[in-house]
Structure 1
Amino acid sequence: MATFARDITDAEFEDQVLNANGLVLVDFWAPWCGPCKAIAPFIERVAQEFQGEISVVKLNVDANPRYSSQLGVRSIPTLMLFRQGAIVQEMTGAPDPKKLVDLLEEALNAP
């Protein structure tokens, strides 16, 4: 099965997120986090649906604490949407699927 949401590390974060052109959705998660596991299939569907328009990456906060700490991630799951390296939206906790899709569509249509 193809994976559309890519796992990244702190070493890749700057290149894959902060220096990326366009929109990048980052899922900050941990393997022990129940809500993180619950939303994982939805995040994968979002990554597939928006493929080519929005990059979707996952950062395990336990294995990669640098950027989650720098960005003030205090609870997981936390989703952050970046445009040209700047945070444009942030959601903490398991998101309402429709609200997240609406937010991503709105971000795609923003100037």
Structure 2
Amino acid sequence: MGLQVNDANFSAEVLGATEPVLVDFWAEWCPPCKAMDPILDDLSVELAGKVKIVKLDVETNPGIVTQYNVRAMPTLIVFKGGEPVDMKVGAGQSRVQLVKWLDSHAA
């Protein structure tokens, strides 16, 4: 499982990061979220140094969820320079699509 972020460390780990950060907004009760886990775990290793991948549990971090208006799980948001720059909702992306999407933000 990737790095867990929460309301307390979100600013330091995501907004303060020098590289682009993909935040996976997930929930324990969400089967599509669990289906994405192995793909995101692999990509966190494969893209290390280019894109940081972190997970945020929506059940225990309502402040961040509300701040970024996350309403469905999974929601993937890419942050660059402390700002959200792109978002995908749902588990409809293949591994290849995710790599292409993340590579476009790593440039």
TM range (shorter): over 0.9
Superimposed CA distance per residue, residues 41-70 of structure 1 (whole angstroms, 9 cap, x where no aligned partner): 101011010011111110000011111111
Secondary structure at 2:8's aligned position in 1?
Answer: helix
Could you say which residue in structure 1 is the equivalent of 2:14? 17
How far apart, in 1, do the equivalents of 2:99 and 2:12 lie? 25
Q: Unaligned regions of 5+ residues in structure 1, if any?
A: none
Secondary structure at 2:9's aligned position in 1?
Answer: helix
**Equivalent of 1:79, from 76, 79, 82?**
76
Percent of aligned positions that are identical: 40
Q: CA deviation at 1:96?
A: 2.6
Q: CA deviation at 1:25?
A: 0.6
Could you say which residue in structure 2 is the equivalent of 1:100? 98
Task: Tell me which amino acid in the other structure corresponds to 1:98.
Answer: V
Q: Unaligned regions of 5+ residues in structure 2, if any?
A: none
How far apart, in 1, do the equivalents of 2:66 and 2:49 lie? 29
Secondary structure at 2:69's aligned position in 1?
Answer: coil
Superimposed CA distance per residue, residues 5-58 of structure 1 (whole angstroms, 9 cap, x where no aligned partner): 201111000111112112001000011100000110101011010011111110
TM-score (norm 1): 0.90
Query: How many aligned residue pairs are there?
Result: 106
Calculate the aligned-residue CA RMSD, in Å: 1.0
Could you say which residue in structure 2 is the equivalent of 1:41? 38
TM-score (norm 2): 0.94
Task: Tell me which amino acid in the other structure corresponds to 2:102.
Answer: L
